[in-house]
């Protein structure tokens, strides 16, 4: 999955951590919510500006980072 246009890294935002589409929610935030057994539907309800694609991109990004 292509995540280069969705995952952004800005030095002054959230300490330079990878964020979603320039927003203040990080890949780590999404992954930690999912890891704590929050369903993706709940995540989308709590953060209406996120999309299902954003969640899938976070999973893909995490998997790619782990492969390194």
> Following DSSP, what letter does each residue of 1-68 receive, concatenated?
---TTTEE--TTSGGG--EETTSS-BHHHHHHHHHTT--HHHHHHH-TT--HHHHHHHHHHHHHHHH-
- Report the CATH fold assignment for 7-67: Arc Repressor Mutant, subunit A (1.10.10)
pLDDT (tens digit per residue) in 25-46: 999 999 999 999 999 999 999 9
Domain borders along the chain are 7-67
What pLDDT score does 35 carry? 97
> How much is the pTM?
0.90
């Amino acid at each position: 999955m292509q995540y280069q246009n969705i995952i952004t890294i800005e030095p002054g935002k959230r300490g330079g951590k990878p964020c979603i589409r320039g927003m203040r929610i990080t890949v780590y935030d999404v992954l930690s919510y999912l890891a704590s057994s929050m369903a993706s539907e709940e995540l989308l309800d709590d953060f209406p500006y996120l999309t299902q694609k954003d969640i899938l991109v976070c999973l893909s990004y995490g998997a790619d980072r782990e492969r390194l």
